[in-house]
A = this chain, B = another copy of it.
């Protein structure tokens, strides 16, 4: 843990796009735009007067963005502590969870103070969980620095860590008090990480917004290159997620639609041992979404043309779409089934899948026969 003080030149910050998440007392705003980290100090001072902060980030993110944030907070006269964790999925673990909590308690933060999650999904999920349990719940701010985190994990209050039994099996629902999605932070992402996040953007089109999917097919180059389409795409994704979270905060119903591609995707992450050199989350989701469409074709629900169209778009942006695309292989159909069974979405042994009748026509199928899934996976593994 270290405290950092720095100063930065004053930066002009364009008015951000605001997406409200309407959850009553637990409601909050998502601000989207370039340079938001540079203006964070002022925004925080205005929204949370008198509060103290602990910024929790990882080494990689710190290198790119921490000075901008601490400079802005220092300029705004805010009192804060900084905690730097090791980068990577390995930090979503009990030991790091415990040590982050210890840092927050050592800093004597109180219930009204705030944690700041500066980083990607790993930092957001971990810090949200820490905030959810320290003193039985303190406030926190998400400052997502990856595309994946900006359009998915920073919004909606799902927090958690991984265990040897699977991903995100331990956590809480705990909503942030503010999300600052600085779109210029995405310029420092590796192309592979940007693509992985893009899978979650495309997902919102595939769930129930065929016009958005068509728009992405036409404009994805602008989204990737950082043109005006990028903010538009992120805001559309956030609006879609905010809507679903509003109607089903704790995933007892329609929120499950956000898991399109995730049952297969999580299983692929599990069998590759969450080894990001082989497969990152968004890539698992891309393959999962392609498989969900193909499985829906297999079940005579979806036309082969729609499945081919989805696969073609994901491949056009450079995402993997086939089990064979995972370096080192993904094991047997039986191993994939075992991983699927440990998923949180299993109820009384019944498999819940998000299936589809075509682009933008997804639905929750909560009684899928395991044998049919296994046979389908066996077929796909044979190529």
Contacts and interface: CB of A to CB of B under 8 A. Distances in A.
Given A94-B94, A98-B94, A169 B105 contact: yes
Contact of A342 (B108, B169, B250): B108
Nearest first, the 8 A-B pairs at minimum CB distance are A105-B165, A94-B98, A135-B344, A136-B171, A133-B170, A136-B173, A133-B172, A136-B172
Interface residues of A, number: 38
A352 to B, nearest CB: 11
A172 B170 contact: no
Nearest to A159: B136
A2 interface: no
A382 interface: no
A112 B349 CA distance: 11
A164 B158 CA distance: 28
Contact of A348 (B110, B133, B164): B110
A169 B348 CA distance: 34
Contacts of A168: 136
Given A136-B172, A136-B173, A137-B173, 8 more contacts: A102-B163, A102-B165, A111-B347, A112-B347, A132-B172, A135-B169, A135-B170, A136-B250
A183 B101 CA distance: 38
A142 B159 CA distance: 26
A373 interface: no
B50 A348 contact: yes
A138 to B, nearest CB: 10
Nearest to A160: B136
A48 B105 CA distance: 38
Contacts of A169: 105, 134-135
A341 to B, nearest CB: 8
A170 B134 contact: yes
Contacts of A165: 102, 105-106
Contact of A171 (B108, B133, B164, B171): B133
27 contacts: A50-B348, A94-B94, A102-B163, A102-B164, A102-B165, A105-B163, A105-B166, A106-B165, A108-B342, A110-B346, A110-B347, A111-B344, A111-B347, A112-B348, A129-B133, A132-B172, A133-B133, A133-B171, A133-B172, A134-B169, A135-B169, A136-B158, A136-B168, A136-B172, A136-B344, A137-B172, A172-B172
Interface string A309-350: 000000000000000000000000000000001101011100
Contacts of A347: 110-112
- Max count, chain B CB within 10 A of own CB: residue among A105, A164, A173, A347: A105
